[in-house]
Amino acid sequence: MPVSHQNNKAVLTHPSGASAEVYLYGATLTSWKVANKERIFVSEKAILDGSKAIRGGIPLVFPVFGKGKAPHVTAALPQHGFARISLWKLLNSSDETNTVTAEFGLDHSLISEENRKLWPFDFSLVYTVKLAADTIETKLRVHNVGDKSFDFNTLLHTYFLIPDASSVKVIGLSGVDYVDKVLQTTVHQEGDIVIKGEVDSVYANVKSPDVQISYVAEQGGVQLHLKGLNDVVVWNPWVAKAAGMADFGNEEFHKMICVEAGQVAEFIALAAGGSWEGSQVLSESQRTVVEAGQAEGQAEKDDLDHLFDMDDSELLKVDNPWVAGTTVGGLSSNGDDIVGDIHQQLMLYYRHFFPFKPFFQWLNYDITPKPSKSFLNREICWTLMDETFIRFQSYRTLEEFKNDMIRLNPAKFDLGAIYNIRPKDRHKVSPAAFIPVSKEMVFDIDMTDYDEIRTCCSGADVCTRCWEFMTVAMKIIDAAMRDDFGFKHILWVYSGRRGIHCWIADERARQLNNEQRKAIVSYMEVIKGGTQQGKKVKLPSTLHPSLSRSFETINKHFPSIVFDSQEILTEPENWEKILAIIPDEGVQAQLREEWEDSPGRAPAQKWEDLKDYIGKEISEHSGKKQLLEHIPRDIMFQYTYPRLDDKVSTNINHLLKSPFCVHPKTGRVCVPIPIEECENFDPSSPPTVPQLVRELNEYDATHPAPDEESKLQDWQKTSLRGYVEYFERFLKGLSREIREKKRQEREEDKDEENRSICCTHK
């Protein structure tokens, strides 16, 4: 069995050989092995009989971090709360294609009588452990099932097994203020974290969801990807503290480090009936983060040269290698040999197909070819083929940018903010003097956020049936940005796999600060709540004009999505989620009985049933009108309205994958999507590099060699042309606005000059 119950613990076994163990006491994960290599530290002196919290693994901190302080209700609770010292239940286990999952539960009835008195709230915790071949996800869901709100902290107190504490780095927390509990002071983190003594640091509101433990003395490490968890604690007891712990060996501090994701800087307030969730995904990593500063114009060149087989002069050749049957490195003329070889595909893509000129025009935000501060001070973040990050890159010229892209041959690259100085020069000033000043207002819509409602696909998979969710999101967000905020220059881009990105390039949008960006996101947000919360939409009786406009779009697409493509009202497991939104158990029961008795009833008829039964309940019990009247409308919003990744939008220095990247998993180009054609977009239609190779070869084989004056660029000979030309039309609109602004500035300067002359003559 993929999940077995052995000696008070659940053992998860993946077909790849990966495994995990979780004790029911504390729901403490005590082992995670990949390729038979343990990644989780548990002390040799750990007590495993349920009499004390387990020293090591991933203890669950809830509902208080550390020791609570009076007069807060958590003040009398045990250190780190009661979740890690309570006996949980194994609720469920499943074996899917690529993952093995176990769910554990804890509620008010399962904690000790003493703790029930100290913390008198009705709650439910669901802890999910999902094991894959080389990753493991741990997710905690908190439900307030009582009639009183409560506050809580939570933390995934993860102990990592490491080669040696003095030779690891914790990467990803640079630039974050933290509370040093050893020195009892607040400090600004600069650079990576190294362990030289006792460490007990709380990093609040971390800037990136990705944190890495890197083994300096040997390759490898562990990557943490956080969702819904904004704080990180780093802890190592070192010599003195280790000697004072009875359940910890005196020398064991060398072999462990705690990097703990949670919500501990402030309490989370959870209203009655509310839900919250947070998770971390751990993965083995060969990743190294390299930041600019060692040498002007590049990042630690000596550490990167081994990645490339060809020197720059060879890479910069621009002749078509497929014409007349010629080959490069043994490639066949139709490009079939590069299928599956993403390194070779990217090398050819950057040399022949990437639209450098229009791309530069976009980032430059000027009508002259001279690089402006918008280009010079823009952060470029390269992700190389071995998953190395090279952050804070910036370039003086288009040619320098092009040469570095071709030399590095990145798996992808992200665009960051425009700073007050060149990002490569950031090491020349204090961290406080390195300031992001502008960036496009962006939105990121990911199909995985729809997994709880879509039925045709899940995870990274998408198809034309579920893509309609993206179509609705584009229409609603685009209309709001244009009609409500007056933005004009909006670029929609396919992410290459399972989502869409929106780049709003108006100068006014680029100048928004974080608070203003948060205000826009708050204005747009409608869907709120975790996956276990039934009703996630709470709208007033009279809709704001923006939501009324959105509802027109929803009305058009709701039948297609819910009745047809997703068949949400066809199967009980799906329509039960609809019923859960209705805040009346009587109406739920009547509809359930009606639909179970008529399993072949058409989805459209079931939807009419829902509206009829709600209408009938209101007519018979007028006091329920306010509660029930708008439930059908709210269901429609919940199942079709855009689901936003707010962190991408609200933080000006957040990275986002650039347009015209090639997605390393699908091989498809991240192309622009004209908003007027969004209903016809097929996520399987953007070209792949092998396809572009074939198209280029076919074009050159059937067209005589042109003279230099009429020579086309290679992307113009392929299906990429339509996407790039749409991008160029987008840039023309921007250029007209920039040109008009410059004209007005010249006229204002001239008027000022004339006024000065008049004043002088007087």
List the domains of the chain with CATH numbers: 3-287 (2.70.98.10), 296-438+687-740 (no CATH)
Backbone phi, psi, residue 28, to 5°? -90, 115
Residue 72, SS3 per DSSP: coil
Residue 460's pLDDT is what? 84
pLDDT band for 370, please (50, 70, 90 cuts): very high
Quick one: pLDDT at residue 312?
Answer: 32
pLDDT tens string 667-692: 999 999 999 999 999 999 999 999 99
CB atoms within 10 A of CB 256: 22
Q: What is the pLDDT of residue 757?
A: 66
pLDDT at 381 over 60: yes
Residues 460-469: what's their mean pLDDT?
93
The one catalytic residue in 252, 379, 404, 468 is 379
pLDDT at site 749: 74
- pLDDT value at position 179? 93
Q: What is the pLDDT of residue 725?
A: 96
> Which residues, including other chains, have CB under 8 Å from residue 65's CB and lie 6 or more apart?
80, 81, 153, 154, 155, 262, 264
Q: How far is CA 666 from the centre of its chain?
A: 18
pLDDT tens for each residue of 174-212 = 999 999 998 888 888 988 999 988 999 999 999 889 999
Over residues 600-616, mean pLDDT: 96
Q: Residue 325: pLDDT band by 50, 70, 90 thresholds?
A: very low
Per-residue pLDDT tens digits for 560-588: 999 999 999 999 999 999 999 999 999 99
Alpha carbons 474 and 472: distance in angstroms, whole number? 5
pLDDT value for 505: 98
Identity of the amino acid at 723: Y
Using pLDDT thresholds of 50, 70 and 90, give the confidence band for residue 216.
Answer: low
Per-residue confidence band for 336, with pLDDT thresholds at 50, 70 and 90? low
Task: Over range 19-25, report the average pLDDT.
Answer: 97
Q: Is 646 exposed, middle or buried (0-12, 13-18, 19+ CB in 10 A)?
A: middle
Return the structure tokens found at 163.
């080669």
Instruction: Please name which of 106, 228, 280, 315 lies closest in space to residue 530, comparing C-alpha atoms.
Output: 228
Query: Is residue 709's pLDDT more than 60?
Result: no
Low-confidence winner among 361-375, 456-470, 742-756 (lowest mean pLDDT):
742-756
For residue 728, indicate whether it is catalytic.
Answer: no
Quick one: pLDDT at residue 116? 94
**Chain segment 261-308, per-residue pLDDT in tens:** 999 999 999 999 999 999 999 998 754 444 443 333 333 333 333 322
Q: What is the mean pLDDT of the chain?
A: 89
pLDDT value for 292: 40
Neighbours of 650 (CB within 10 A): 21
Cα 610 to Cα 612: distance, rounded to the nearest angstrom: 5
% pLDDT > 90, the chain? 75
Asked about 646 being catalytic, the answer comes back as: no
Interatomic CA distance for residues 488 and 584, integer angstroms: 44
| Dihedral (CA of 201, 202, 206, 208) sign | positive
Residue 327: its pLDDT value, please? 36
Mean of pLDDT values over 421-440: 94
| 660 compared with 308, residue with greater pLDDT | 660
- Residue 23 pLDDT > 60: yes
From the list 252, 291, 444, 478, the catalytic residue is 444
Evaluate if residue 259 carries a pLDDT over 50: yes
pLDDT at 404 over 60: yes
400 part of the active site: no
How large is the average pLDDT for residues 320-340? Answer: 44
pLDDT range class, residue 323, cuts 50, 70, 90: very low
Determine the 3-state secondary structure of 569 from DSSP. Answer: coil
% pLDDT > 70, the chain: 90
Which position among 103, 291, 446, 584 bears the catalytic label? 446
- Centre a 10 Å sphere on the Cβ of residue 701 and count the other Cβ atoms it contains: 12
